[in-house]
Structure 1
Amino acid sequence: MTNHVITVTLSESKKQKPQSDQLEFGRVFTDHMFVADYCEGQGWTDHRIIPYAPLEMDPAATVFHYGQTIFEGLKAYVGKEGQVLLFRPEENMRRMNKSSERLCMPAFNEEIAIEALEKLISIDKDWIPVTEGTSLYIRPFMVATEPYLGVSPSKKYKFIIILSPVGSYYKEGIHPVKILVENEYVRAVAGGTGTAKTAGNYASGLRAQEIASKKGYSQVLWLDGVERKYIEEVGSMNVFFKINGEVITPILNGSILEGITRKSILQLLRHWDIPVVERKISMEELRSAHQAGTLEEAFGTGTAAVVSPIGELNWGDDIMVVNNNQTGELSKKLYETLTGIQTGKVEDSFGWVVEVTDTVKV
């Protein structure tokens, strides 16, 4: 049985808000958070918005020992008319339930999740920065809380939403980044948890990222975990290549996360009648295209950066410079169109944007 009532307890002491030009990603959090509790046999109960505060959890909670946790990431923007806008939140909540199924965690009602999110944002809407390129980052997540060391799914969980004002990803404009192709470590394999947005996927990528950073690279390009030849993701983003006029992105294969920005870009490209295909693409094919001069653009896509152009790829002894290390025309158009739709500056002909209209009654 699910309780649909969302109670609200407002904070008695408000935090000091940071200046827009001092915002870092995920360092500062708003005054409130949403929490709901799950217990097997009872379902989700006690839906509440409360002052942001540390969680009290048993040291034996399943999440600490067996990693039963999932999360999502999306953003809220202030539109040109001062309205608060969300970009495809229903897709995030749908994907979160797909992740929960993979991790043997309970589903959460997607409509209630969006209702709770809108109510939380309406309470903390003064935290949304209005400077160009800034936004309010939204982190819904679920953790297993049953104090039990047996290796089995938890019987208790918390679903939480927290908010964080974030600065522009491109403080000095959109510029291509250098990428190191990872040949030793892998991010995920088909049958594993690559299609779920779960903490372990990110922890397992830290070592390769650390090595790449020490060598002067921004991110790593992940290859498949079986043959180590097919391209999968770049950092924590999906990846696209424009080769001889056609855009190619790795097909979802059971180890690649189904990105919402990826899905949106595919829809945009098809709407513009730009040839685009989802299929396997190997590093050998990419190198051949570079040698032939047909590798025109490469870019990553994700919530944080939206579109991140790739200017250089390092694969063993091969250094592949893409588009003279300049942002390509298509990358720029995609970035400007998507961010324009997200902020209400470009007409949303796809029905992607949701305006937050909730009025809180306490």
Structure 2
Amino acid sequence: MATSHQLPNNGKASNRETEKIYANMDWDKLTCGVIPTDYMYIIKSNEDRTYSNGTLVPFGTIDINPHSAVINYGQGLFEGMKAYRTKDGNVQLFRPEENALRMQMGAERLLMPSPSVEQYIDAVKQVVHANKRWVPPWGKGTLYIRPLLFGSGPVLGIGPAPQCTLLIFTNPISNIYKGQTSALNLLINENFPRAYPGGTGGVKSISNYPLVFQVVKEAKAKGFSDVLFLDAVEHKYIEEVSSCNAFIVKGKVLSTAPTLGTILPGVTRKSVIELARDLGYEVMERKVSVEELLEADEVFCTGTAVGISAVGSVTYKNKSVTFKTGADTVTKKLYDLITGIQTGLLEDKKGWVVKID
């Protein structure tokens, strides 16, 4: 029997009523682990490279051809999104059209047909609505949404798949990213670039991420939160952390690496740039050297999973530099602003929020 939870309207509910609203689990113990939900969404491309007749199916394993392009050649993309529970119990998305457009950009790079923006958003809304009881209560976490687009059709010679599949599943996660309880402690890796010019660093290709597994594992074994990678050409300009964008703050100026093919155009990154300018800060998308980073007032990371996360320290060539964190920082102002919009605490004046019926 589930324990009862305080309802968003501060009323009391019986256990049975609570079970109808929320899945049967202890939300106070939520982490970022794997938690299967009820349904997933699947849609396959037609012969004319369009999509139609997608469907919700019970969450579970899928059949895949051993000849599929995703298995043999890594032809696949993924997106990362969240559904947020508001204080009054409603559920909403944050800028889903931006994820749809980014998937289209990545699909073009990898020669895959992609759903329209309208099809993508409709599919996301369907799967979130079907798994609505898995959206954590307000303040307890979010429902992470993982859309996958991959070459499911069979190929033998090197080339794109004749058919692709869009699969969307969900997973409730804590507001604390992967056990993070304090500001990030980053290690700069000067020898191993994350992405190369002409590669796929600017899209969310599934092949981007295994490359950093070993480096990040070694850094974490030394007590670091994550790795900040440098450019592949000169090895002197900061690019990304393993799964998020990075910003530096110096006075009233925020700087972040430009999206020129090796930097992922993050949705949170884009939103932070606009919100910071609204607050009167100058924001520059430019190359940022390690030396500039080490002299910054603040450093923070942005991404769907990490949200806006302050960086407490960066270590480079065995030298550690600390940065301002906590209250009365630019990072905290931006965090409060964007999470307020995402969770309904602040009015959405930009039309970024999409409500789930």
TM-score w.r.t. the length of structure 1 is: 0.88
Residues 42 and 174 (structure 1), Cα distance of their counterparts in 2 relative to 1, 3 Å cut: closer
Which residue of structure 1 aligns with residue 344 of structure 2? 344
Q: Distance in 1 between matches of 2:41 and 2:343?
A: 24
1:146 corresponds to 2:153: yes
**C-alpha contact (below 8 Å) 1:311/1:326 kept by paired residues:** no
Q: Mind listing any 5+ residue stretches in structure 2 that lack a counterpart?
A: 1-21
* Per-residue deviation, residues 248-277 of structure 1 (Å, max 9, x unmatched): 111112100000000000001110111221
Which residue of structure 1 aligns with residue 353 of structure 2? 353
Alignment map for 1:229-244 (pairs within 5 Å): 229-244=236-251
Q: Distance in 1 between matches of 2:175 and 2:302?
A: 16
Which residue of structure 1 aligns with residue 314 of structure 2? 313
Give the deviation of 1:131 after TM superposition: 4.3
**C-alpha contact (below 8 Å) 2:31/2:179 kept by paired residues:** no
Q: Distance in 2 between matches of 1:146 and 1:170?
A: 35
Q: Mind listing any 5+ residue stretches in structure 1 that lack a counterpart?
A: 1-14, 290-294, 358-362
Residues 113 and 296 (structure 1), Cα distance of their counterparts in 2 relative to 1, 3 Å cut: same
Q: Distance in 1 between matches of 2:311 and 2:149?
A: 33
Give the deviation of 1:285 after TM superposition: 2.8
Q: Distance in 2 between matches of 1:36 and 1:286?
A: 44
> Secondary structure at the residue paired with 1:197?
coil
Residues 27 and 204 (structure 1), Cα distance of their counterparts in 2 relative to 1, 3 Å cut: same
Moved over 4 A (4+): 170-174, 325-328
> Secondary structure at the residue paired with 1:24?
coil
Residues 265 and 133 (structure 1), Cα distance of their counterparts in 2 relative to 1, 3 Å cut: farther
Q: Tell me which amino acid in the other structure corresponds to 2:240.
A: E
* Per-residue deviation, residues 180-204 of structure 1 (Å, max 9, x unmatched): 0011111112211011101111111
Give the deviation of 1:326 after TM superposition: 5.1
Give the deviation of 1:162 after TM superposition: 0.5
**C-alpha contact (below 8 Å) 1:309/1:327 kept by paired residues:** no
Which residue of structure 1 aligns with residue 174 of structure 2? 167
Which residue of structure 1 aligns with residue 130 of structure 2? 123
Q: Distance in 2 between matches of 1:42 and 1:235?
A: 32
**C-alpha contact (below 8 Å) 1:194/1:257 kept by paired residues:** yes
Which residue of structure 1 aligns with residue 99 of structure 2? 92
Residues 182 and 171 (structure 1), Cα distance of their counterparts in 2 relative to 1, 3 Å cut: closer
> Secondary structure at the residue paired with 2:198?
coil
* Per-residue deviation, residues 301-352 of structure 1 (Å, max 9, x unmatched): 01112111111111113211112x6566111111111111101001111111
Q: Distance in 1 between matches of 2:177 and 2:203?
A: 27
**C-alpha contact (below 8 Å) 1:239/1:298 kept by paired residues:** yes
Residues 135 and 16 (structure 1), Cα distance of their counterparts in 2 relative to 1, 3 Å cut: closer
Alignment map for 1:210-359 (pairs within 5 Å): 210-287=217-294, 289=295, 295-323=296-324, 329-357=329-357
Residues 155 and 173 (structure 1), Cα distance of their counterparts in 2 relative to 1, 3 Å cut: closer
Q: Distance in 1 between matches of 2:279 and 2:162?
A: 48
Q: Tell me which amino acid in the other structure corresponds to 2:245.
A: N
**C-alpha contact (below 8 Å) 2:326/2:332 kept by paired residues:** no
Q: How many residues align?
A: 336
**C-alpha contact (below 8 Å) 1:179/1:314 kept by paired residues:** yes
Q: Distance in 2 between matches of 1:45 and 1:186?
A: 40
Q: Distance in 1 between matches of 2:56 and 2:46?
A: 19
**For the aligned residues, what is the CA RMSD?**
1.9
Q: Distance in 1 between matches of 2:270 and 2:138?
A: 27
Which residue of structure 2 aligns with residue 29 of structure 1? 36
Identical-pair percentage:
38
Q: Distance in 2 between matches of 1:227 and 1:37?
A: 42
**C-alpha contact (below 8 Å) 1:309/1:328 kept by paired residues:** no
Give the deviation of 1:207 after TM superposition: 1.4
Give the deviation of 1:133 after TM superposition: 4.2
Give the deviation of 1:81 after TM superposition: 2.1
Alignment map for 1:60-139 (pairs within 5 Å): 60-139=67-146
TM-score w.r.t. the length of structure 2 is: 0.89
* Per-residue deviation, residues 211-230 of structure 1 (Å, max 9, x unmatched): 11111100101100111111
Moved more, 48-57 or 36-45: 36-45
**C-alpha contact (below 8 Å) 1:174/1:308 kept by paired residues:** no
Q: Distance in 2 between matches of 1:333 and 1:212?
A: 29
Residues 120 and 135 (structure 1), Cα distance of their counterparts in 2 relative to 1, 3 Å cut: same
> Secondary structure at the residue paired with 2:51?
strand
Q: Tell me which amino acid in the other structure corresponds to 1:335.
A: Y
* Per-residue deviation, residues 71-122 of structure 1 (Å, max 9, x unmatched): 1011111112222110001101111111111111112111011112212222
Give the deviation of 1:246 after TM superposition: 1.4
Alignment map for 1:4-19 (pairs within 5 Å): 17-19=24-26
Q: Tell me which amino acid in the other structure corresponds to 1:256.
A: I
**C-alpha contact (below 8 Å) 2:177/2:305 kept by paired residues:** no
